[in-house]
Chain A
Amino acid sequence: QKEVEQDPGPLSVPEGAIVSLNCTYSNSAFQYFMWYRQYSRKGPELLMYTYSSGNKEDGRFTAQVDKSSKYISLFIRDSQPSDSATYLCAMRDYNQGGKLIFGQGTELSVKP
């Protein structure tokens, strides 16, 4: 069983749509949840991070964490073609010294 489950997609949406990207995890020791964005032929870049359950908003992006359900989400409002990328969820395993555990990534394509 994977430590972090993430639907690989690909996910294709029209410009302006609301996008929902999700990850589930199984280990209660996982804390400090992150979303990375990876454009083609680039390395991942940190998009958002949050520690506690609840919502965190940054412009068109909202990160949501539900620790009781071990479920995290990233919402993108008014999606743009420039949002087309692979989105990786990640979280720290504090039973392993804060090691980053990644999901496999969801490939998103926003069509004009």
Chain B
Amino acid sequence: ETGVTQTPRHLVMGMTNKKSLKCEQHLGHNAMYWYKQSAKKPLELMFVYSLEERVENNSVPSRFSPECPNSSHLFLHLHTLQPEDSALYLCASSQDQQGRETQYFGPGTRLLVL
């Protein structure tokens, strides 16, 4: 088991629902990431936080809203999603966001939007 946990592990939501994904890292890292993994597609970086400040937002639609209240916790708030947003959402952390620091991934939240 890695030092990065994610809840819930599975989520089914309608297009009008609001839900949140939670990520927690127990590794003492300073950087945290959200990725989207769709079938047969490369991992897509969505957001990067370093020392609780957002440093990158890869043109993600506003229906995805991240929140990083401290260096150990990361949330992804979801509202009015589309069926094409169904995917595995992975959280990762690293010591910092530059250089060669290894990113450690959580197990992901499998999201299905109906």
Residues of A in contact with B (beta carbons under 8 Å apart)? 2, 4, 6, 8, 32, 36, 41-46, 49, 51, 88, 92, 97-105
Closest to A41 in B: B107
Q: Mark B81-102, 1 if CB is under 8 A from A, else 0.
A: 0000000001010000111101
Say which one of B13-21, B39-47, B67-75 lies at the interface with A: B39-47
Chain A CB within 8 A of B106 CB = yes
Query: How many angstroms between the C-alpha atoms of A48 and B109 in the bound complex?
Result: 25
Set of chain A residues within 8 Å of B97, measured between Cβ atoms: 97-98
Chain A CB within 8 A of B30 CB = no
CB of A104 within 8 A of CB of B41, answer yes
CB of B2 within 8 A of CB of A45, answer yes
Chain A CB within 8 A of B103 CB = yes
Partner of B42, one of A2, A46, A99: A2
Knowing A97-B98, A100-B103 touch, does A44 contact B45 (C-beta < 8 A)?
Answer: no
Set of chain A residues within 8 Å of B104, measured between Cβ atoms: 45-46
Knowing A43-B108, A45-B2 touch, does A4 contact B102 (C-beta < 8 A)?
Answer: no
Set of chain A residues within 8 Å of B49, measured between Cβ atoms: none
Shortest Cβ distance from A82 into chain B, in angstroms?
A: 17
Chain A CB within 8 A of B105 CB = yes
Partner of A98, one of B98, B106, B107, B108: B98
Partner of B102, one of A42, A46, A105: A46
Chain A CB within 8 A of B32 CB = no
Query: How many angstroms between the C-alpha atoms of A93 and B92 in the bound complex?
Result: 18
Closest to B45 in A: A99
- Name 6 A/B residue pairs within 8 A (Cβ), A-sorted: A43-B107, A43-B108, A99-B56, A100-B103, A104-B41, A105-B42
Set of chain B residues within 8 Å of A41, measured between Cβ atoms: 107
